[in-house]
Structure 1
Amino acid sequence: MIQVDQQVLEAAAGWLRAGRCVHLVTVLQTWGSSPRPAGSLWALAQEGTPDGAQGGASHPMRDGTLARLAQGDSVGSVSGGCLEDELRRHLRERGPLPRPEVLRYGVTAAEAQRFGLPCGGQVELLAESLSDPEPLEHILATLAARGRIARRVALADGAVSLVPAGRDEAELQRDESAVVRVFGPRRRVLLIGDGLIARLIAEMALALGDEVILCDPRIQDPAGWSLPGVRLETRMPDDAVRAQAVDPLSAVMTLAHDPRLDDLALLEALNAETGYVGALGSRASDAQRRERLTSLGVSAARLARLRGPIGLAIGGRTPAEIAVSAIAELIAVRNGSPLAQREPLSPAGEAATG
């Protein structure tokens, strides 16, 4: 799940805890050009207490989100800004919805022009009124534990049920009776070793909406270390990987230039289900690294998962170019792009010493 969708859930839960009525809108389907894919979320808060809302203080985990959203009444997006004003008008006129509504925009050329949908795009949305924060809080707790959960909305009456979701279950499912939205944890990037390239990669990963953790036990003054938006780990890299990056939505990049640190992280990540494993260095240092990992018991099949030297072959030489190549490869792997194929091995990162 991307960061903005999690922010929608957090904001909606906080607004409900504060006694406000909340409309949740989900993109069901798009045709033609559309800036937001199916499953995207948008929440709108109104004044007043919805039926069944729970009063009292806001949930402590959501106070930060409420503070950030204090100047607005909506969060998320279903159209990149084209439809939100129309939805706000429609939902405020309707008030709390007795049951979910399916809304369609851009069906005609006139509507597409009116709402600013690009290239005659069309979008189908599900709008529902929320009254109980507990299901959203349960989803958020599941995501915090790196789990997957499905939220089923009955179209007849808006009844919501939550069930565990499998790893390969589609993000959005629908039939004549219900819509199911599957929520999974945010993508996570664990960087091993502090340095300029690591910090550049961290900034780019944050821009993608990833959760970013930097691990370096060599940092002398953790209290004085600062990289906004990035969490610092000072435990040993193998412990950090075990705790933070063993699922397919996680990525590990070793950037320490120290085999005593890099190899510890690679051993754990390659023997786990980590989705992406990359190592910075030259071709020569990559060959030496693979020999060491083989001698330490990493199988040939597991070793084949190592992206080394890290990054796409774009001829990167400067720290910024190497960081771009690394992030580009991560995106290519996640999206199943042919650019992710590594035959022959990429020379990106060749300028870095191993």
Structure 2
Amino acid sequence: MDSQDLEVLKTCERWLNGGQACELVTVVKTWGSSPRPEGSMLAIGEGGQLVGSVSGGCIEDDLIARVQEYGFQRTCPELLTYGITADEAHRFGLPCGGTIQLLIEPLTLDSKISDLLVRLAQHELVARHVNIHTGGVILKTAQADDALSIDQNEMTNIHGPRWRLLIIGAGQLSRFLATIALGMDYQVTVCDPREEYQQAWHVDGVRLVHEMPDDTVMAMQLDGRSAVVALTHDPKLDDMALIEALKSPAFYVGAIGSRANNAKRKERLLEFDLSVAQVEKLHGPIGIYIGSKTPAEIAISILAEMTAIKNKVALAPENRIDIGKQQMSKS
């Protein structure tokens, strides 16, 4: 499963290689409330075909209508602003006071979309610099804390997975969790030293490592954009990885299991060189309560909690996993 932005870029490459004209539209600035964040993209092809999103739909409708009526006339990038007036905000489905600025970029084979995709396939974080006056493009290596920027001469958008997820265990739940996380633009690593699980594992785009989980945690040098989820139900594997992860700046560390099992796990972890504050960073029972019982639903529950923590959204007590019954089955 590709993320939406990756799907947009792959669609652009396919259209260009097929000799089809297309434009890349990027949200470069927002004021007030907006449906999509800065950096969001969509691709428009001949006839108004569209992939991606920059709003709730009304701006997309307007862009499609322009292409269908006038075709592609731009030869250089153009900035376009929607929602300046209250009438426009209402017409284009923007929240009250919302304004969105787009960079519309006519693409050619020189737009370096194919080069960008090659580098993204290697899990590289890439800054794509676009000259607003000429449409010229330069690709450079980006840093995890880089963000979209624009001035009177250049727009720079950041592409690639800026968030990392380490999953301990290569079971069925891990496959669902990894697949969905890829679509959310995580760089996903699965660690499982057990041979019987390694042979059955395969998810395109996910790195599988066979070392002991605690060694993998230390080797990854987790930072504030990293998450660790332990899914083996085996303390010999999960606990050692959790000890190292809880010492790190990782924004999320969680382990599957019932409330009772989680309480026992915390007691075990306190026997090691972890403080009470570090142990309390552990999320468990993992996920938010959505009544989930299948591996796919549990994966959604876990990623929903991860997303809330990543976005600094406090979860209400009623949204926490209560008795953990949905996590009793083997992953």
TM over 0.5: yes
Q: Does 1:153 align with 2:133?
A: no
Partners of 1:109 and 1:94 in 2: CA distance:
28
Write out per-residue CA displacement over residues 34-53 of structure 1, whole angstroms, 9 at most, x where no aligned residue. 22122110111238xxxxxx
**2:6 is matched with which residue?**
6
Looking at structure 2, the residues matched to 75 and 218 of structure 1 have their Cα atoms a distance apart, in angstroms, of 41
Match of 1:265 among 231, 241, 258: 241
Equivalent residues of 2:27, 2:41 under 8 A apart? yes
List per-residue Cα deviations over 1:2-58 (Å, max 9, x = no partner). 9111211222123222322220111122334422122110111238xxxxxxxxxxx
Q: Which residue of structure 1 lines up, in the alignment, with residue 80 of structure 2?
A: 103
Match of 2:98 among 112, 121, 146: 121
Find 1:193's aligned residue among 156, 162, 169. Answer: 169
Q: Which residue pairs with 1:307 in the alignment?
A: 282
- What is the CA distance between 1:157 and its match in structure 2? 1.9
Q: CA deviation at 1:165?
A: 2.3
Counterpart mapping for 1:76-225 below 5 A? 76-91=52-67, 93=70, 95-119=72-96, 121-132=98-109, 135-169=112-146, 171-185=147-161, 187-193=163-169, 205=181, 208=184, 210=186, 215-218=191-194, 220=196
Listed one character per residue, the Cα deviations across residues 300-351 of structure 1 (whole Å, up to 9, x for unaligned) are 59955852435478799978897676434312321133559xxxxx986766
The answer as to whether partners of 1:213 and 1:230 remain within 8 angstroms in 2 is no
Aligned ranges 1:56-75 → 2 under 5 Å: 73-75=49-51
Residue in 2 that maps onto 1:36? 36
Q: 1: distance between equivalents of 2:233 and 2:205?
A: 20
Tell me, yes or no, if the aligned pair for 2:128 and 2:139 is still in contact at 8 Å: yes
CA distance in 1, matches of 2:186, 2:163: 5
2:45 is matched with which residue? Answer: 45
Offset from partner CA, 1:266-308 (integer Å, 9 cap, x none): 356456665432223421222203424x3xxxx6599558524
> Letter of the aligned partner of 1:26 in structure 2?
T
- Amino acid of the residue matched to residue 158 of structure 1? G
Which amino acid counterpart does residue 284 of structure 2 have in structure 1? P
Aligned equivalents of 1:236, 1:149: Cα separation in 2: 29
Asked whether the 8 Å contact 2:129–2:154 carries over to 1, the reply is yes
Structure 2: give runs of 5+ residues left out of the alignment: none
RMSD: 4.2
TM-score by length of 2: 0.74
Give the one of 303, 306, 310 matched to 1:330: 306
Q: CA deviation at 1:185?
A: 1.2
- Contact 1:16–1:131 (Cα < 8 Å) also in 2: yes
Residue number in structure 1 paired with 2:23: 23
Task: Indicate the SS of the match to 2:56.
Answer: coil
Q: What SS class does the counterpart of residue 147 from structure 1 fall into?
A: coil
- Per the alignment, in what secondary structure is the counterpart of residue 112 of structure 2? helix
Identical amino acids, percent of aligned pairs: 38
For 1:206-231, what per-residue CA distance to the aligned partner results, in whole angstroms no more than 9, with x for missing partners?
A: 675656565545474766668x8895
Report the equivalent of 1:284. 264
Q: How many corresponding residue pairs? A: 318
Quote the Cα distance in structure 1 between the aligned partners of 2:154 and 2:229: 41
- Residues 221 and 270 of structure 1: is their aligned pair in 2 closer, same or farther, counting only changes over 3 Å? closer
Deviation at 1:150, TM superposition (A): 1.7
Residues 170, 198 of structure 2: 8 Å contact kept:
no
Structure 1 residues 19 and 265, CA gap change in structure 2 (3 angstroms): farther
Helix, strand or coil at the partner of 1:291: coil
